């Protein structure tokens, strides 16, 4: 893993038109390597949009998005895909697994796209699924599917893990287990961790919280 003295994520003066009269606006956000941050706020306030800018899934129309020393706006689509695959792991509420494939196959397919090296079976063992390697995703419990998604995201120790409501589809007990698992693994790997969550109790267990409730503004409010 690359160890950096500068910010690993640095956003400045973002402006993005989401719809007529509705704009995403962020003055500044900085994370140093290994930091963990919870993104909080009501539904529709811009939490997931912010995560998409950092992942390079959405390009900001104005401002700077610098991730691991690279200005994302300067990259071609192909270079942006390579940058994301090499440096960023993604976990979503809806898992994004291929239901007809096994747990191991889902992680291996993810590895093919990311290009990161690592032992997929060992990573699944780390998330408690060594006994489910050859079980199809459709036959896994919801909590087990999320563990597969975490193993896929963290295989090869990416510098950054972005998690969008990773416990939102889980019952409280399973959600707590999944959160603890992610927190332990990112701490062990020195991974920078950003998590979108509505669960304020979990958010408060991360060292930093960022309230996103002010990010989306109408023209009347912004004027």
Q: 128: domain range?
A: 9-222
| Per-residue pLDDT tens over the stretch 142-186 | 999 999 999 999 999 999 999 999 999 899 999 999 999 999 999
Backbone angles phi, psi at 166, to 5 degrees: -65, -20
Phi, psi of 90 (to 5 degrees): -120, 135
Does residue 3 form part of some domain? no
Is residue 2 a part of any domain in this protein? no
**How much is the pLDDT for 220?**
57
Is 172 inside any structural domain? yes
Nearest Cα residue to 60 out of 16, 17, 24, 13: 16
Tokens coding 35: 């930091």
The count of structural domains within the chain is 1
Q: Is residue 64 part of a domain?
A: yes
Is 218 inside any structural domain?
yes
Would 4 be classed as within a structural domain? no
User: What is the residue-averaged pLDDT of the chain?
Assistant: 93
- Whichever domain contains 209, its CATH number is 3.40.50.300
Model confidence, pTM: 0.92
Query: 166, 177 in Cβ contact below 8 A?
Result: no
Q: Could you read off the pLDDT of 66-88 as tens digits, one per residue?
A: 999 999 999 999 999 999 999 99
Residue 4 has pLDDT above 80, yes or no: no
How many CB atoms lie under 10 A from the CB of residue 204? Answer: 11
């Amino acid at each position: 893993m690359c160890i950096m003295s500068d910010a690993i994520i640095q956003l400045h003066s973002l402006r993005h038109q989401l719809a007529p009269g509705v704009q995403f606006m962020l003055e500044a956000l900085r994370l140093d390597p290994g930091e963990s941050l919870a993104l909080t706020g009501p539904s529709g306030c811009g939490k997931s949009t912010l995560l998409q800018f950092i992942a390079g899934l959405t390009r900001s129309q104005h401002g700077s998005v610098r991730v691991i020393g690279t200005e994302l706006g300067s990259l071609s689509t192909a270079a942006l895909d390579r940058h994301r695959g090499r440096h960023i792991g993604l976990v979503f509420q809806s898992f994004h697994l291929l239901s007809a494939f096994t747990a191991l196959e889902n992680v291996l397919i993810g590895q093919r796209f990311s290009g990161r090296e690592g032992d997929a079976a060992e990573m699944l063992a780390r998330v408690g699924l060594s006994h489910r390697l050859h079980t199809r995703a459709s036959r896994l419990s919801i909590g087990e599917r999320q563990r597969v998604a975490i193993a896929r995201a963290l295989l090869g120790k990416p510098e950054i893990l972005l998690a969008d409501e990773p416990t939102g589809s889980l019952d409280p007990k399973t959600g707590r287990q999944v959160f603890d698992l992610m927190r332990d693994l990112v701490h062990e790997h020195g991974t920078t961790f950003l998590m979108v969550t509505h669960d304020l109790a979990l958010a408060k267990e991360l060292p930093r919280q960022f309230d996103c409730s002010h990010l989306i503004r109408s023209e009347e409010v912004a004027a």
